[in-house]
Chains A and B, each alone.
Chain A
């Protein structure tokens, strides 16, 4: 579960201060965050992932306050509890599909067998491609690999940043469906931020910044 209180963020002194509405999600609940470009969507996502530190306010993930974690502890917490999905680039170029998933697990203590990796790859239709280089994958395949990478370690929270903005209508629906399925399987919170109104119908919970 996720809880935020009075989050604000400022990039540099003298620039605009972003302030964000409080969010409370129970275990397994999903949330869509809509907003125009430049409104601070990605900033909020990075705050939730612990990649940025808020100026004021608190973030709790499974009752752990992110502010209280320092450096390496925060890195490890992120590696174990959070899965990130990006817009276009998803994986490490020099590794193949399977090794990317292994590398995803390298820095967390999650116990995931090779068999589990195979299952996730099969669910996302990537079994045939597991020995392929990342550069050989199409955009849709890459997006699915991105999903696999964000869920393989059974995270508490899946954070997706514009996961559908470069996809056509058909793939857009598939990706959202896959994300929701994977989140459901691990009983994780799924938070999607986007300016893509096509997916609004897919979520019960949504807020607009």
Chain B
């Protein structure tokens, strides 16, 4: 028998109040941890997908759209740029690498991206099976594509025009799977990669049929790509290069970090609202805990007075009430964690789509600690108010009024 034990028995003797306190507190804890985790996962996912890209060069239009399309592969591109022009600008000595991206086709909703081998290096994606794209009309698949569509090396596919799944505008050029990438948890997992030549071939083939009479040289000049993903040797490039592109060419240079920061600002309103609701519930649970403890202290005034005649000091009674609060909140924390795990699993199940990678970033120790501290402060506040009657307690008076 010790003070913990008495606290525990006190809690057990009022199951309804305890349940209510624990339930409300765990709900707010789950919400707080949940929003934090989703926010972290969201940011992390996007940051991962940025790779080490400093600047994206593409056709003029919305810079955010350009970044979304070329880096996250979520939106339509702003248009195309001339391959010849692109080759000119990458002669800049500040540029470490420039990866061309070209698309316009999909296979069953998965984007077919014409690029170079360097694109896989950008995401540290290694081949699981097969070999790199060496010739036109060969493709390698991101891991999720291969799994979802159940494709193997040697399989062939017909690309469809546009970025959305459709079978009406199918091209007649046949693409062959030559490699499958290891899973990376990044955007590359849901892409089909090929070389630039393949994309041009698919489209030029049709153009030739439509415009008889163009000679080969014209076609060479007409070659287009969607965008260039550029890395600089030093941050100095960021200062001069984008402005030069924007002012002197008919292309635009967008900074993915800056654009995505703007995107966070738009989307964080939702997170902020949910967080606010979670804090509100936390305040309510704080009040519930206070009422529950205060009621205990008031209703059990005689019990507490008896404990004083047993030799307990005021401080020991306060400890008892604090332990009660602590037990309630600790169980709430455990239940909150459980609710969080179940809730997130459900949420992910319903949100599943091709655009989501559904990889949750684990909460950092610091995040959990921060919320735990907040809750500890909450217990201390609730208990401090609840123990007020103990401090003011007149044992003699309570005992004389026992009837």
- Could you tell me if B300 and A84 are in contact, using CB atoms closer than 8 angstroms? no
How far apart are A94's CB and chain B's nearest CB, in angstroms? 4
CA of A118 to CA of B309, assembled, Å: 22
- 8 Å CB contacts to B: which residues of A53-75? 71-72, 75
Most chain B C-beta atoms within 10 Å of own C-beta, residue among A82, A107, A108, A161: A107
Question: Hey, what's the 0/1 contact readout for A102-130 against B, CB within 8 Å counting as 1?
Answer: 11111110000000000000000000000
- Could you tell me if B10 and A103 are in contact, using CB atoms closer than 8 angstroms? no
- Could you tell me if A107 and B6 are in contact, using CB atoms closer than 8 angstroms? no
CA of A54 to CA of B316, assembled, Å: 25
Q: A51-B395, A95-B6, A106-B2 are in contact. Are A79 and B310 (CB under 8 A)?
A: yes
Chain A: which residue is nearest B311 at the CB level?
A79
Name the A residues within 8 Å of B3 (CB-CB): 106
A49 at the B interface (CB under 8 A)? yes
Chain B: which residue is nearest A91 at the CB level?
B306
- Could you tell me if B396 and A95 are in contact, using CB atoms closer than 8 angstroms? no
CA of A202 to CA of B1, assembled, Å: 37
Chain A: which residue is nearest B13 at the CB level?
A94
B330 at the A interface (CB under 8 A)? no
Question: Hey, what's the 0/1 contact readout for B292-318 against A, CB within 8 Å counting as 1?
Answer: 000000001011001111111101100
Q: A91-B306, A93-B303 are in contact. Are A99 and B402 (CB under 8 A)?
A: no
B240 at the A interface (CB under 8 A)? no
Q: A75-B308, A84-B309, A87-B403 are in contact. Are A99 and B396 (CB under 8 A)?
A: no
Tally of contacts, chain A with chain B, CB under 8 A: 86
Q: Per a CB cutoff under 8 Å, which of A46, A71, A89 touches B402?
A: A89
Chain B: which residue is nearest A81 at the CB level?
B311
Name the B residues within 8 Å of A90 (CB-CB): 306
Chain B residues bordering chain A, tally (CB within 8 A): 28
Name the B residues within 8 Å of A108 (CB-CB): 310-311
Chain A residues bordering chain B, tally (CB within 8 A): 35
A52 at the B interface (CB under 8 A)? yes
A78 at the B interface (CB under 8 A)? yes
- Could you tell me if A106 and B9 are in contact, using CB atoms closer than 8 angstroms? no
Chain B: which residue is nearest A105 at the CB level?
B1
Q: Per a CB cutoff under 8 Å, which of A46, A94, A104 touches B310?
A: A104
CA of A91 to CA of B315, assembled, Å: 20
Question: Hey, what's the 0/1 contact readout for B1-16 against A, CB within 8 Å counting as 1?
Answer: 1110110011011000
A88 at the B interface (CB under 8 A)? yes
Name the B residues within 8 Å of A3 (CB-CB): none
10 CB contacts below 8 A, A to B, read A46-B396, A71-B313, A76-B313, A86-B399, A90-B306, A92-B306, A92-B307, A94-B9, A102-B1, A107-B307
